[in-house]
Chains A and B, each alone.
Chain A
Amino acid sequence: MTERSYEKFFRQNRLPHLWCPGCGNGIAMKAIVQAIEKKSGWTQDNTIIVSGIGCSSRASGYMDFDTLHTAHGRAIPFATGIKLAKPELNVVVITGDGDCTAIGGNHFIHGCRRNIDLTVILFNNNIYGMTGGQASPMTPLGKKATTAPYGSIDRPFDACKLAEAAGATYVARSTAFHVQHLTKIIEDALDNKGFSFIEALVQCPTAYGRRNKIGEPAKMMAWMRDNAVMKNAWDKLPDEKKIGEKFPIGLFYKAETETYDEAYHHVMEIAGGASK
């Protein structure tokens, strides 16, 4: 039996979590702590978890680090302040599709643009779960939500393309089904010096799956298995085969670019305050 050594990263007195049975958020949260566990130099004392508002963002309360549950959409500005105030700290942001790409959309693209050294993990459940199933900017076209009872007509964001275009230096996607792959890309993202963005597709059986008749949690995960295509294979697919609900997962973009705090250090050198 595998040793559950990662459990030390959880606040046992705050569990069980408030997520619905079958929710994918716990899988993504576990992937994060398993990735952190593998990083030498990343400790519970020098790693800060910052989250916004929504189902995903309740994760911070369960994780035994300094944790910050901010306001809706604002996790990235708070995280930016922590990182720039104490560049020696490791800062991880947990957000959701509504939190990150709707109310926090402006902060998201500007965090990418500045290449602040943060790892941002978006738990994409395609819906506003906490408030009972309203459409988000990542609800697929045609899918139903309480605020899109006839099917969503809002064209959804591809958050990975958005992050890459805005200047993030590590961009990847995985799913709650591909948990080992998810853990591995989070590990790589933690290593990246700069703004790292990961979209973790998670199932929301209660507010999304049920309304869209996708079925039980296991069926939602089977859908991930059947429709996710690894990046290498996806790139080789002819366009006529990139059809239906198929989508690519894996590493989409990686670059080495000066981070904001490195650049700001040069500003301090010019101004004469670097050693103060």
Chain B
Amino acid sequence: MSAKLMQGNEAVAEGALAAGVRFFGGYPITPSTEIAEGMAKLLPKVGGTFIQMEDEIASMGVVLGASLAGKKVLTASSGPGISLKQELIGYAAAAEIPVVIVNVQRVGPSTGQPTAPSQGDVMQARWGTHGDHSIIALSPWSVRESFELTIKAINYAEKFRTPVILLMDEIVGHLRENVELPAENEIEIYPRRTPKKSRAEGYEPYTPDEDLVPNVANFGEGYHVHVTGLIHDETGFPSGSPKITAEFIKRMHEKISRAADEIIEVETDFMDDAEIAVVSFGGTARTAYEAVRNSRAKGLKVGFVRLVTIWPFADKIIAELAKKVKGLIVAELNYGQIVGEVQRAANGNCAVKLCAKYDMTIFEPEEIESAIDELISEVGGK
């Protein structure tokens, strides 16, 4: 494929199509709307379905229905729309329905600053819906990576039968870059899981496989599956048993935590001799990378750490880093969210300094460079 000028949001739509998404339900909201617009144009060309729903709750419902009927599905929103989706994100977690929700983050709370970038939904991505549940969230920093992580998100949703959040931000969503997308034969697709037994052989839709993920049959294939948001046993029917409830909640978490090493991706650079490092993600990582390179040019031993996977959090990787460096700077476009996770993982083994910004503008490299200078003077590196 030849290089093409493309926006992050457009790359999500292209990535979804390449991943096999054939159903999109959505509702217009800035700054995610171009994803819906892209899907409206692309899906009918490949026999897929696009529908604009009456609100974001319905957008979640319609994609979950389509997923149960066997389609790979996507929905996208921002800000208040993501808040509305939370109810059925929990349903998808409980009923184990593959779905990817793109959140192109804007400034909140409430209507906030609708057209301005933010990374204020990090904790919402983890805990937005009520109750204990696991989740996967990935955050791209470029247009090409928006394409790649959309595919990865769809694959994880299918493999682990879980909601996956593609945690974009307005910076990357509206960023235009000249990109060369991977060729079709370079793209790996995880197919829909299928039952390993027939009904006659005693098939139960929620019996976990070896990886703790159940092979729930698609609707319309003769399995007479029952799906509910109530806590259920392996048959899929509700259970009032404390034992079943505890096992269910535990399996929800463990199907993801067991695969954490596979899911967690962290990119690093300049780490060999780094005395401190800047931890960042998404659009902010672009500025952080520039700041690290500028600091290196000044002779400062600064490393670069980019969280590609936000949830599950990269506990082990951060814990190891904290033993190697004197301090970590966490640069994020919010009042301080992922910094708490970094502090927890660092566990006192190095200094952790927050470089937060929440004035609706993106970081300038100098702002992160100042934080680097300050931390170096505090921890005595050079």
Contact A80 B65 (CB under 8 A): yes
Distance between Cα atoms of A84 and B47 in the complex (Å): 11
Q: Is B166 an interface residue (CB 8 A)?
A: no
Q: Which residue of B lies closest to A48 (CB)?
A: B219
Stretch from B30-38, B225-233, B267-275 at the A interface: B225-233
Contact A271 B68 (CB under 8 A): no
Instruction: Please list the residues of chain B having a beta carbon within 8 angstroms of any beta carbon in chain A.
Output: 23, 25, 41, 43-49, 51, 53-55, 57-71, 73, 87-88, 91, 219-230, 237-238
Distance between Cα atoms of A74 and B68 in the complex (Å): 15
Chain B contact surface mostly? mixed
Q: Is A99 an interface residue (CB 8 A)?
A: no
What's the nearest-Cβ distance from chain A to residue B311, in Å?
23
| Contact string against B for A residues 23-53, beta-carbon threshold 8 Å, 1 for contact and 0 otherwise | 0000000000000000000001110101000
Residues of B within 8 A of A271 (CB): 41, 44-45
Candidates B57, B61, B228; contact of A69 at CB < 8 Å: B228
What's the nearest-Cβ distance from chain B to residue A77, in Å?
3
Candidates B46, B60, B220, B227; contact of A45 at CB < 8 Å: B220
What's the nearest-Cβ distance from chain B to residue A57, in Å?
10
Residues of B within 8 A of A82 (CB): 65-66, 68-69, 219
Q: Which of B61, B223, B228 is the most central at the interface, judged by chain A CB atoms within 10 Å of its CB?
A: B61
Distance between Cα atoms of A110 and B55 in the complex (Å): 10
Residues of A within 8 A of B25 (CB): 77, 81
Distance between Cα atoms of A80 and B53 in the complex (Å): 10
Q: Is A67 an interface residue (CB 8 A)?
A: yes
Contact B229 A89 (CB under 8 A): no
Q: Which residue of A lies closest to B22 (CB)?
A: A85
Q: Which residue of B lies closest to A58 (CB)?
A: B238
Residues of A within 8 A of B46 (CB): 273, 276
Known A46-B220, A66-B220, A81-B62; contact A86-B69, beta-carbon cutoff 8 A = yes
Distance between Cα atoms of A78 and B64 in the complex (Å): 6
Distance between Cα atoms of A172 and B91 in the complex (Å): 32
Residue count of chain A within 8 Å CB distance of chain B: 44
What's the nearest-Cβ distance from chain B to residue A119, in Å?
15
What's the nearest-Cβ distance from chain A to residue B58, in Å?
4
Return 27 A-B CB contacts under 8 Å, by A number: A44-B224, A45-B220, A45-B222, A61-B238, A67-B225, A71-B61, A74-B57, A74-B88, A77-B59, A77-B62, A81-B63, A81-B67, A82-B68, A84-B51, A85-B69, A85-B70, A86-B219, A89-B219, A107-B57, A264-B49, A271-B41, A271-B44, A272-B45, A273-B45, A274-B47, A276-B45, A276-B47
Residues of B within 8 A of A171 (CB): none
Residues of B within 8 A of A107 (CB): 54, 57-58, 61
Q: Which of A60, A71, A267, A270 is the most central at the interface, judged by chain B CB atoms within 10 Å of its CB?
A: A71
Known A67-B226, A85-B66; contact A74-B58, beta-carbon cutoff 8 A = yes
Known A85-B49, A86-B69, A106-B54; contact A66-B223, beta-carbon cutoff 8 A = yes
Contact B49 A64 (CB under 8 A): no
Residues of B within 8 A of A71 (CB): 61, 87-88, 91, 229
Contact B47 A66 (CB under 8 A): no
| Contact string against B for A residues 71-104, beta-carbon threshold 8 Å, 1 for contact and 0 otherwise | 1001011111111111011000000000000000
Interface residues in A186-215 (C-beta closer than 8 Å to B): none
Residues of A within 8 A of B23 (CB): 81, 84-85
Known A77-B58, A85-B23, A106-B55; contact A68-B68, beta-carbon cutoff 8 A = yes
